[in-house]
Amino acid sequence: MPRVIVDVMPKPEILDPQGKAVHGALPRLGFDAVTDVRQGKRFELQVDVADEATLAEVHQLAETLLSNPVIEDYAVRVDGADA
């Protein structure tokens, strides 16, 4: 069965306090190469078929339920193994 991945991230202009907290902890843990952190959400959806109609439905689902379009962007993709 195909798997569709929905990644949800805060829009660039929105403050990300969780990402800032992780970024602030990295140097204390000895990780100095990271210059910024943004934290988001990932959803993995099993579907019967990853056709155009199903992906359109997943886009609608992502916009209405999985993300807040005012403060978040989302991206939909079919898992590479299932594409």
What pLDDT sits at residue 80?
76
CA distance 68 to 77: 18
Query: How many Cβ atoms sit within 10 Å of the Cβ of residue 39?
Result: 14
Domain edges within the chain: 3-78
> Is the predicted pLDDT of residue 69 greater than 90, yes or no?
yes
Amino acid at 45: L
Query: How many Cβ atoms sit within 10 Å of the Cβ of residue 34?
Result: 10
What pLDDT sits at residue 26?
97
Q: Which of 49, 62, 80 is nearest to 6 (CA)?
A: 62
**CATH for the 3-78 domain, from 3.90.1150.10, 3.40.50.1010, 3.30.930.10, 3.30.1280.10:** 3.30.1280.10
